[in-house]
Each structure stands twice: as C-alpha cells, then as structure tokens.
Chain A
Amino acid sequence: MFCSKKKSLEVERTVKANDREYNEKFQYADNRIHTSKYNVLTFLPINLFEQFQRVANAYFLFLLILQLIPEISSLTWFTTIVPLVLVITMTAVKDATDDYFRHKSDNQVNNRLSEVLINSKLQNEKWMNVKVGDIVKLENNQFVAADLLLLSSSEPHSLCYIETAELDGETNLKVRHALSVTSELGADINRLAKFDGPDTKLIQNSGKTKLKRTSIDRLLNTLVLWIFGFLVCLGIILAIGNSIWENQVGDQFRTFLFWKEGRKNPVFSGFLTFWSYIIILNTVVPISLYVSMEVIRLGHSYFINWDRRMYYSGKSTPAEARTTTLNEELGQIEYIFSDKTGTLTQNIMTFKKCSINGKIYGEVHDDMGQKTHMTKKNEPVDFSVNPQADRTFQFFDHRLMESIKLGDSKVYEFLRLLALCHTVMSEENSAGQLIYQVQSPDEGALVTAARNFGFIFKSRTPETITVEELGTLVTYQLLAFLDFNNIRKRMSVIVRNPEGQIKLYCKGADTILFEKLHPSNEDLLNLTTDHLSEFAGEGLRTLAIAYRDLDDKYFKEWHKMLEDANALMDERDERIAGLYEEIERDLMLLGATAVEDKLQEGVIETITNLSLAHIKIWVLTGDKQETAINIGYACNMLTDDMKDVFIISGNTAVEVREELRKAKENLFGQNRSSSNGHVVFEKQQLELDSVVEETITGDYALIINGHSLAHALESDVKNDLIELACMCKTVVCCRVTPLQKAQVVELVKNYRHAVTLAIGDGANDVSMIKSAHIGVGISGQEGLQAVLASDYSFAQFRYLQRLLLVHGRWSYFRMCKFLRYFFYKNFAFTLVHFWFGFFCGFSAQTVYDQWFIALFNIVYTSLPVLAMGIFDQDVSDQSSMDYPQLYEPGQLNLLFNKHKFFICMAHGIYTSLVLFFIPYGAFYNVAGEDGQLIADYQSFAVTMATSLVIVVSVQIALDTSYWTVINHVFIWGSIATYFSVLFTMHSNGIFGIFPSQFPFVGNARHSLTQKCIWLVILLTTVASVMPVVVFRFLKVDLFPTLSDQIRQRQKSQKKARPLRSQRPQTRRSSSRRSGYAFAHQEGYGELITSGRNMRAKNPPPASGLEKTPYNSTSWIENLCKKTTDTVSSFSQDKTVKL
C-alpha cells in the first residue's frame, strides 16, 4: 500500500473500495467539474486583472495615468477614460455572461444523480460528490461522469455495454467486463470510481485549452509594437525640438509670458514634452481599434449563425460560431485535418450492390438495359411482403428479387451465407420487431440485406443459428467459428444444415479469398474480379463471399486437430491459424458484396472545391488502414491518377525512417537523395523545399499509421515526415490516438507556419480541435465534447465549404480592409499633431478640440468603417463558391501584411501632410470676409477637423465596394452627426452651462460660413483622395486580381448568367484495387461460441461439438487486448496501474 505523493508523477493509486476515510488521506481531486472561471466575489478583481494583462488595455491604462500628471497632460482625461471604460465594461459583461452559462452547464452535470454505496446503503448522491473509491451503482442508460472500474454487472459474465458517443462519436456499443475476482459480487452494474474530476483520462487527454489568437492578431501585436516604436521616435524628435526651442526662443518668451516661474531647464522641458506627445500621438492605435475588431468579428459570427445555407434541417441544427474572435482566420486556412467517422462518413453502412455468380445486382437499368444513374423516379424494391423487413433498407434493383422468386440456388446460398456468417446478436423488442445488435456496422448492413431478401437471421445459441429462409425456420448447427483477425482478413463459420450437410461459409478480403478458391472457379473469378474493381472504383467496401462443402469425416479429423491445438500451451495461435488455413481452401466462389460507408452529403464536392482553393486536407482517423484508404478513394482524396501512394506502416523507428527515406527518394528523384541522409542543414533544406515544391509534378499521397507516426514524430525524423507530407496532395493518418492527432496538427503548425483547421465530431478529436488554429465540431450528434471544444460547429461536413469559401473569405477580406482603412485613418488623424509641433514651439498643443479627439474614433468615423467591416463584399457568395481560387489571397496573407501596413501608413502620412499644410498655407495672412480674424487656433482646429472628417468619409466611400442602405445611413449619418455635434458643442446654450468645457462657442457658425474655409476643405479633400483613385484605377487596369476580373465580368454581363467554373467530374475510371475494408474486431467469435454474451436462459450445454476451447479467462484477455488498443487508445500515453 503505497502511493506516489507527487501528483505530476503519479504512477500508482491505492484505493480502498468503499472506504472514504482511508481514501481521503490521499486528497484525490473531487468529482466536481469546473469549467467556470469566476464566482460573484472573485469576478471583479480577477476579470479586471485578466483584462489589464492584455497589452492593449495595460497600455491604455498607462496612458491614462500619464494623462493624470498635470505637467505632461496634453489631453484631458476623458479622451482616454471614456473609451477605456467602455471597452472594459463591454468585455466584462461578455465574460460574465459566458461564465454564467458555464456555471449553468457545470451545475447540470455536477448535479446529475448517481447511486453510491454509503454506510452500506445505496444512497442518491450527486455526481460531484462522488469520491475516489466509492462504489457506484449504475443503471441502464445512465450517464457516466467519471472514470470507473467495472466491478460486476447483471449481464452474464459481468459484461457491460457502454456507448462512447460523447467520447469518440461512435454509437455502437463497446463491451467491458469486470475483473473475474469481482464479477461474482453484485447483481447490478457496480463500479468503483477510479479517477475523478480533472484526473479523468478524458480530461487528461484532451489537451490544454489555449487562448486562440488569429494570425492577424499576432501581426497586429507586432505592428502595435512597431507603431509604439515609431511614436517613441516621433516623441524623441519633438522632445529634442522642444529642448532646442526652449533654449533658443522659449527662454526669452518665458520671461515675457510666465512671470513667476524661474528659468526652466530645456532638457527637462523636453523630457516632459516627450511624454505629452506620447499621450497625444497614442491615437494612432486607439482603443477603438480593438473594440471595432471585436464588433466586426461578432457581426461575422452572427452571419454564420444566421446562415440558412448552413442550417441542417435533418437535425434542425444551425451553424454556430462558438468563438467570436477567430473569424478572419477562416479565410486563411491552408491545412484541414479531418476526422473520418461521423465527419466525412455518416457511420452508416448500406448494402449497395452485390455480384452473385457473375451477375451484378444493385445497378439501375433503364428499359433499354443500359445502366443509368440513380434518379428520383426509381422505385425502390418493395419489401412489404416480408413482415420482418427493415423499412429503412432500400434497394433499387428489382432483378435480385426476381431471381429469388425464380429460386436461383446460388442467390439463396449467397443470402444464406450473409445470414449465417457474422457475429450479430438478435433480440426481439416488445413490438415483436427483430432488433440486431451489431458489433460492426458493415456486418449489420449485410445481415439486414439478407433479412430483407427473405433470409432472416432470427436467433443464435452458442451452437445453433436459426434463420427464417423465405418463411420457413431452419436451424443450423454451428460447428466452428473461424474468427476474423487482421492478418486473416476473413471469417468463416462451419455449419451443419438440417439435411446434415456440413458447409463452410467464408467472407473476407478478395485478395486473400481468391487465393483459396478451387481452380474450377476461374471464369467466375474473372467476372467477379471485374465486378469488384467496379465496386471499388465507386468507393464501395467489398467483401468476397465463398463456401465449401465439407464431408463429415474430413471435418471430424480437422476438428480433432483443432481441439488438440487448443490444448497446447505454446505455439497454440500458430497451430490454430494453420488449421484455419487448412480448412479454408478449395472454396467455391459465390460472389461479392459492396457496402457503402455512407459519406456525409456533399463531401466529395466539398473536398474537390476545397482542394481547388489550395487547401490541403489530411484525414486523421482511429480507423484501420484499409477503411481509411477506402474512404480516401470514396471522397476523391485518393485517385488512380496519383503518381504514387506512399504507405508508411513500419513498426520500428528504423523501418519508419527507411520507408520515409525511400518515399522521399521516389518523390524527389535520385538527384537529391544523396544529400538527403542527414538533417544537418535544416534551414537550407527548408529553403530547398520551396524550390522543390515547384518542381514536383503529379500528385502523391501519403498514408501513415499510428505506430509509424509515433516513430516519425520523433525529433530526428520529424523533418523528413513533414517535408514528405507537405509534398503530398493527400495525407491519411490511420489508427492514430487523440494525442497523435494533436501532435500532427502541432507539427504542421510549427514547421509550416500555416493556418490549420481541425474538424471532428467526437471526444477523440478534442485535442486536435484545441490545438489547431480553428477547431470545428460536427454538431447535432450524440457527443457534445467536440462541439464544446470547438470554435465553430455545424451539422454537416459540406458546410465547411461555405464556412471557409464564403464566410471565411469575406471575414478576412473585410477585416483586412477594415485594418487598412483604420490605420490610414488614424495616421492621417494623428500625425497632424506632429507637423503642428513644429509651429507651436513643440508645446504638445493638439491641433483639434479635445472633444473632437475623444469622439473622432468612437463617434464620427466608427460606424462607416464598421459597416464596411461587417457588410462589405467584393464578389457575391455564389461567385466565392464558384471560383474557389478566390480564397488564395487569404492563404498567402496578401490583403494585410507588413507591406500593406506600410502602404496605409504612407497613405496616412500623405493625407496628414495635405490636411495640415494646405490649411497652414491658406491661413497665412488670411482674413475673414468681414476682415475679422479667421486664422485663430480655434478656427484652424475646426477647419482641420471638418476636412479630416470629410476626407476620411470620402475615403471610406471609395473603399466600400458594397453599398447597402446601412452603409449609406452610416456614412451620411456620420457626417451629419459630426456637424450636428459640432454645432451643438459650439452653441451658446452649452457654453452657458459649461463655459470652461466648451470654449469653442460660435466657432462653427463663424468659420463654416466663410467661403474661404470651404475652399480649403474642398481642396484638401481633392488633393488627398485624387492620388488614391489614380493608384486604384491603374492597379485594376494593369494588374487586376481575380476578384477584380470577376467583378468586371459580372458588371459587363449583368443580365447574363454568371459563368460557372468547371468542376472536375467526380467519377473516376476504375482500376484494379482492393476495396476491401471491414470495421471488425477480433474476439467476437469467441464470445459467441462460448455463449458468454448470451442470456442465462440459453445456458451453454455442458457438452457439445464446440466446447469453450480456452481456459475461462483467456478469451476475455484477448478481447480486452484487442479492444483497448483500437477503441480506447486514450490510455496509450498514460499508463495507470491499479
């Protein structure tokens, strides 16, 4: 009894069941789920602390403090505090509501009831109060909110079926069994809480939640730093200017103006001036920038929520933007990491086609006997005559039904095989309907197909299978069950029919099965092979079907040998495998089945379009290699035109390295391979890559499995892997653990510096969703974990296309436009102070009225740019979808980068020059229309402010490419607001009330009635806007972008229908390739033949042909061994000994 004290290094846990006092010693975490951050008391301090941790907020707080120092205050305090308080309050309210909902959902989970054994009595206890070591009684369909150890259950052999939909999105049930020691104990499902709350496997596995920032945010942070550096430079220039001025002019001036003060030190004066100018010039990055960005993103998020084309009526789920801070990143995605099950596929298998005795069924033929495509007109086969038929099953080829009616014996045999050779369990529900309990959905599809065609699997016992064959009940004796495994890739049953014939029915991978056929099958084999290629070409999962007649004597001999083999202690598995090989030969081919792993709607089109947008799609799945490849073909990610498909499946580091090396050699040709042995010159090599990337022709694909990935992710091979993977058009990683998914995402993030998106539906995708730049969850499913961890969620994979190509592209486009304009605007607005500094003795006098400075960014110019940032469209959504290439600027980061920033900066500086020097020149030696002074400071301020508002409004009018009513209202409204606020603040009334706050009384009236002032404003506007128009016009004329071209084309053919880009045809030419894929696990055969999973009412007879061959626990060990490494691979990275 010992336990490691250090939590991080916890290797063992010692727990006494049902002994709270003892267990409390270890202070294990309790089972309360905490996702909320604050409570009522801590909200204010913690939230404020968090908010001021943001650089921007801290910066503004710093400025505010500076402004409160009278010596350097050049702006009144309200210019900063009003926006700051506004921002802090808005964020705080948002955080508070978010946290309120988190509290609510936590409470819901925490207060679910469970039955816990306390003081030898079962008591209702809330899940949050369940302690480590408690014994919990669970009933059917209850939620499990902790890691539990199964002690016993009411099922035979203490089995327990659990659904892991909330974990991995898979709805089929997983089997868990109790330890044999404890299994005899109880009647109901009793479980021991093992890990609680934050210690659960899932939480430990799901990775840390990081605050996600977009690349624009990061760029902005850099730019803000640059701008701050720029401000410091300006401040220093002005401070030096002030020192010189004070020294040369101000000194004499001071004695004249300032009577009481003694001589001031020019250097100190310069120092103070520096800070004063930092305050004045801070409006280059005003706080409203951050607020506006949030508002724009919020608007874009609402557009996502509101989009009817992303609403899935089947589950009545609209798309949801769960994070409102990442939208523009949706327009920059380069890599998509997708889960398979539930995301690309529906996890529904349908029996589509079959080939029986050389004849294909399942194709739809028209009257002329020609194959046609499925249309609405086609009537499905009517199964209503069969009362046991599954109504959801649809089949469109009537010829199969006809063949059955004609009594084709091969068809009978085919369907009989489907009804016999499987691991399905049957059950009748209260309505007398037959319910199948399937272990793999593939099998379910086959058995259901047989059922609908009249070969109904009714029930089974460990040694019989009862099938209703076209109305008559037939019971077969199950003599042997040759289970499936990954090496055999096939399964067989040996049955004795009522006539006493012994038959072996076998289904499996065509490649394996065809080697086992009797030579007489050659003609049929060729035909079936053709059919199989056809099926495989359509992306269907195929199985070959064969049987063998056995004679009694042979079988008895064989069975004897099997029993002997089972009794062996060593080499048992090898011997058994050999015996299986022995009997599964000389098979007679019956045909083949084709099951469709039903893709989600529109997956192929979406993937095609996204690839056209140069987005690379990687599939990361926990599935087997065959299944993953099959889906890759089914959704056009893998095609036969590909030059090569590299498969990395080595089990050791050396093998993996060798495979990677070979693949690279193959990819780059011989010329590079010599220099490729080492990764010494990493940087050089990366540079080389970009060159090579251009020279590689043809498409490649990479398929890598989990074991190999574990080795490939080791640091010295990492580079090879990423280099290879990024050359490939498609990458499929199969059998990967959730953590590996995240590692792959991280790898691409770190090495390619590309924007990544992960999409998945189950809890096993959570880590990948969290580590990708953008995480997308498929909603409307059972499990919520993925959605809860995601940034965006919607019900169907196909909406990804609209999310990225329309919403993402627009968001990026709008955000970049917004930023470009915003920086331009504020440079123009602020730098005027710099120029003015040279004319006002560097005294930190502002050019504008204090009120104007306070209101400019939040009132006068905020709404038009917000309207542009929210509503602007360069091309319509339809065009965005039609021309996926339009997505490219986002990936290449073309619309807002450092280069563009310098352009806006130059634009702003130019405008500020025009804004300042035209009025300066005009005001020199000027007089009003009645001779009075108009070159006073206040008139100058009003002239400048009015010019600025008009210039930036004209500029936004030019920038807005999509003029809706809202844009009109906002732009005209802003100008109107400016003038009305101006006249109000300069009115007599308000001056009468606050004479010292509004000293500009009468100014607007006086200045703005002067023709000369208007002439100045007009000239300023023309001079600052004209060059921009010239540049834009020439740019569109000389170097038009794709979106310019589309816009132009649409303008010229407004009436004509827009051109649709040609999409590649989704059908491929088929080539020979195995479509074998079977989501089946080993071990279920043993379950069936031992009868362990059957009800006690069918007790296994003491003697029978097929006895439980192994000792009592070995099959369970086997089963667990297999299930743990496929299903709950969570535990791989953290082994816990109990």
Chain B
Amino acid sequence: MKKMAAANVRHLCSTNPVCFLLPHYHRTKMKRISEDYQSRLPDNTALKQQQLPAYRLQLSATGVLSGFFAAGAFCLGMGIILILSAKSIKEIEVKYTKICANCAELREDATNFDKECTCSIPFYLSETMKGNVYMYYKLYGFYQNLYQYILSRSNSQLLGTDLKDVGNCAPFSNSHDGTPIAPCGAIANSIFNDTIILSYNLNSSIPIEVPMLKSKITWWTDKYVKFQNPSSINLSSAFAGTTKPPYWSKPVYELDEEDPGNNGFLNDDFIVWMRTAAFPTFKKLYRRLNRIQYFIEGLPAGNYSFNITYNFPVTRFKGEKSVVLSTLTWSGGSSLFLGLAYTVTGAVTWLAAFSMMAIHLMLKKKKMLFIQD
C-alpha cells in the first residue's frame, strides 16, 4: 500500500507532458536524511540517556536513627563542655553610667566638651583571675549597625593612599570650610574616647596602676592591611590639608601621646572602634593585662578601682557604658548560650531519635502481623 501511495505521483507524471519525475526538493530531502542518518540517532551515552551511574539516596531506618543518636550524643557532649568552660571564665562587669552620673550629665551638653570629668569606681575582686585578662568596654544601645552609619567611612582614605577621598563619609566628609575630614565619616567621628585605667590597691593604701598593653588588640589584617598611615616624614605633615572630625578634641596624629607609633590611622583604639559591632550591645577590647610583677599569674584577688576619664556621652540615646574584665577559655570568651543551645539540641535530637525508633518498630510489628494474617 505504501508503494501505491507513492505511485500516485508517478501516475500523474505519465499523463502530464511536462513533468519532472521527482521535484528537486524531494531529492535533496532524501539525500539529507541518508547523510544525516548516523548523526540523527542520539548518542548512546549515559548522560544523554539519563543512565548515569548514581547512588539513590534513601532515608533508611538504621541510617537515620544511628545518625540521630550520634548527632545527639555529640551535641550533648559539646554542650556540657561548652557550659563547663563558660562557667570557668571569670568575668567582672562594672556599669559606670549611673555611677558617674555627674559626668554623664555634663556630657549631655555638647558645649562642655572641653571640661574634663573623671570618675573612680572601686570594686573588690574576690577570686584571682588566672591567665590572660582582657579589659573591654561595653556599650549598651549604641547602634553601630545602622546602614547609614556603617556606610559612613572611607576605606581608601584609611588606607592612606588618598586622604581627600571622603566619598561615602557624608555627613562628616568635609568641615564647614570644605577641608576634608581625616578620618572622615560617622564611625570615626563617634569614636569611644573614654580612658579607663585599672589600679590595684595592693595594701589598701597606695594604688598601683595595673600594667596594661594596648598592642595586639586589633586584628592583624586591620592593623597591617586595612589601615595605613599616609607616607610622609612625620604624621602631622602627612595629614596636612585635612581637619579632625568635629567631635574629636585632638587630631588623628595626636591620639597617643605616649607611643608615637600608635598614632594616625594605625591607632589601635581607633582601629578597634572602626570595626563596627553587629548588634547595639557590644563589647570591644580595650587593653590586655601585661603579666609582669604582681600580675604574672593574672589579676590577684583584692581591691581595685577603675579610673575613668568620662568623655563619651551615652545618656543622650539612653545607652549605658560598662567596663569588663574577663579571662578566656579554649574557645575564646564564649558565653553560656552556645553551651545551652548545644545541650538542648542534643536532648531534642535524642528525643526525636527515640520517638522515631518507637514509631518505626511499632509499624514494623503491625506489618508483620498483617503479613501473618
């Protein structure tokens, strides 16, 4: 029949005086098909035929349950370790906003910026803080994570390459007369500028200043990569043509009068401040205990006091300031939260594992009964 259908065409041909046997179109089409015959057959590869060798993932009862028991055990163990180590940390926090209420009041009025205000807070350390002791300042309710705030800095200026680059620093990019501010931006402008000195009353008479280090309180990369002073003979000339941020009392090259190397953009306190905190309550490293003399073992128990030069206003935004002394463990200054979270997760995992096992076994039993019936 197929042949007959094809023959129809030829029938007409024989009756028509002007007739081409097969039109060109047909012939070319045929030729193309025969030439392409090989290439038109799809390749027999595993990929193209969707036959790639593969592992079929399936949640088997034994796998899931043993995984859960293992994970639960790990979490519980880790939780207990973390809780224990968090407990081993010695920490003292002294909130001084209210204690230094008069200073706080003074600072609420910006015009009093040149009036110095100090405040001394005595406290008793009942237990020796062994090992390295770190001193932090902690701010409550200070939003270092506001979008406009985080943005308001110039990394290229801080790199010392282009002091005039104050692009993103608005509204603290230029002073009234148009000179660029160095360091520019809201972050730099709002630097924490209290000075905190810890003194130890050895014999309850003469307080000794506890030796503190201000080095190595920054990230290595911040100190050596991210922040650079502009190159020049001395810093003051390097910063010529710029002006200090409006809230600052001293220009950036005079931040540390004792250590000339700790000035300019490379000032450690400045670098620490510039690393903005994630949450409105944060603590930042201020000093490290220099373990010499009485303090080789750490901070011995006894009477201490913080002598604070109160400059940083917090009451305006209903914030609070505190100073923290803390030791560390293997995982750093971890809080109790992580340990508790691990313990809870571990417990829940085990609970889930037991209930899954119970359900699974029950179903299996039922199935067996069903089959027996």
Measured CB to CB, the residues of A under 8 A from B are 74, 139-143, 154-155, 161, 163, 171-173, 188, 249-250, 252-253, 255-261, 276, 302-303, 305-308, 311, 313, 316-318, 348-350, 390, 392, 425, 427, 429-430, 435-438, 441, 444-445, 448, 810, 839-841, 843-845, 871, 873, 877, 918, 920-941, 957-958, 960-967, 988, 991-992, 995-996, 999, 1001-1003, 1005-1006, 1010-1012, 1015-1016, 1019, 1022-1023, 1026-1027, 1029-1030, 1032-1034, 1036-1038, 1047-1048, 1051, 1095
Contact = CB atoms under 8 A, between A and B. Distances in A.
Given A923-B278, A931-B328, A991-B226, A961 B33 contact: no
6 contacts: A163-B8, A429-B10, A840-B146, A936-B278, A1012-B332, A1030-B356
Contacts of B41: 308, 311, 313, 316, 318
Which of A841, A845, A1003: most chain B CB closer than 10 A? A845
B341 A921 contact: yes
B341 A927 contact: no
B1 A1015 contact: no
Interface of B: 1-5, 7-20, 22-23, 25, 33, 36-37, 40-44, 48-50, 52-61, 64, 67-68, 71, 75, 78, 82, 132, 134, 136, 141, 143-150, 154-156, 159, 161, 167-168, 171-172, 186, 189-190, 216-222, 225-226, 246-247, 272, 275-285, 288, 313, 316-318, 326, 328, 330-335, 337-338, 341-342, 345, 348-349, 352, 356, 359-360, 363
For the complex of A and B, the 8 pairs showing the least CB-CB separation, nearest first, are A1002-B221, A927-B333, A940-B278, A306-B48, A931-B134, A921-B337, A964-B52, A845-B147
B278 A931 contact: no
A1016 B338 CA distance: 7
Contact of B149 (A257, A316, A873, A1015): A257
A136 to B, nearest CB: 15
Which of A877, A992, A1022: most chain B CB closer than 10 A? A1022
Given A435-B11, A929-B331, A1002-B220, A1032 B59 contact: yes
Contacts of A918: 341
B314 to A, nearest CB: 9
B335 A924 contact: yes
B190 A1029 contact: no
B219 to A, nearest CB: 5
A449 to B, nearest CB: 11
A934 to B, nearest CB: 7
A1029 B63 CA distance: 11
A1098 to B, nearest CB: 12
B338 A1019 contact: yes
Contacts of A171: 5, 8
Contact of A1047 (B7, B56, B155, B171): B56
Contacts of A139: 16, 18-20
Contact of B318 (A252, A1003, A1010): A252
A306 B279 contact: no
A448 B3 CA distance: 11
A618 B361 CA distance: 48
A311 B36 CA distance: 14
Contact of A142 (B23, B172, B186, B190): B23
Contact of A1019 (B40, B145, B276, B342): B342
Given A171-B5, A256-B317, A996-B155, 13 more contacts: A308-B41, A317-B40, A844-B147, A877-B50, A924-B279, A927-B136, A933-B275, A933-B283, A935-B277, A995-B155, A995-B161, A1034-B359, A1036-B59
A1003 B226 CA distance: 11
A348 B1 contact: yes
A141 B26 CA distance: 10
B14 A429 contact: yes
B355 to A, nearest CB: 8
Contacts of B59: 1029, 1032-1033, 1036
B171 A261 contact: yes
Contacts of B156: 995-996
B52 A871 contact: yes
Given A318-B41, A437-B8, A938-B275, A964 B54 contact: yes
B87 to A, nearest CB: 14
Contacts of A840: 143, 145-147, 279-280
B349 A1026 contact: yes
Contact of B52 (A143, A438, A966, A1036): A966
A423 to B, nearest CB: 14
B144 A307 contact: no
Given A171-B5, A1019-B341, A259 B246 contact: yes
Which of B3, B43, B71, B190: most chain A CB closer than 10 A? B3
A318 B318 contact: no
Given A259-B246, A939-B278, A1002-B225, A308 B42 contact: yes
A1019 B349 CA distance: 12
Contacts of A925: 283, 333, 335
A958 B64 CA distance: 12
Contacts of B23: 141-143
Contacts of B54: 871, 873, 962-964, 967
Nearest to B344: A1023
B1 A1019 contact: no
A961 to B, nearest CB: 5
A840 B276 CA distance: 12
Given A306-B43, A1001-B226, A1095-B15, A429 B144 contact: no
A530 to B, nearest CB: 28
Nearest to A1027: B352
Nearest to A438: B4
A306 B338 contact: no
Contacts of A316: 33, 36-37, 40-41
Contacts of A161: 8, 12
Contacts of A303: 48, 50
Contacts of B58: 961, 1047-1048, 1051
Contact of A257 (B53, B56, B190, B338): B190
A1010 B332 contact: yes
Contacts of B246: 259
Given A259-B189, A961-B58, A1022 B282 contact: no
B16 A318 contact: no
B23 to A, nearest CB: 5
A427 B78 contact: no
Contacts of B348: 1026
B317 A253 contact: yes
Contact of A1015 (B13, B159, B272, B331): B331
A307 B49 contact: yes
Nearest to A1014: B331
A504 B92 CA distance: 123
B40 A995 contact: no
Given A932-B218, A937-B150, A308 B44 contact: yes
Contacts of B272: 933
Contacts of A839: 145, 279-280
A1037 B9 contact: no
B285 A927 contact: yes
Given A348-B2, A961-B58, A307 B42 contact: yes
Contacts of B144: 937
A933 B284 contact: yes
A253 B330 CA distance: 37
Nearest to B159: A995
A173 B4 CA distance: 11
B338 A141 contact: no
A930 B216 contact: yes
Given A429-B14, A921-B341, A924-B279, A963 B55 contact: yes
A1090 to B, nearest CB: 18
A930 B136 CA distance: 13
A947 to B, nearest CB: 13
A1041 to B, nearest CB: 13
B316 A936 contact: no
Contacts of A928: 332-333
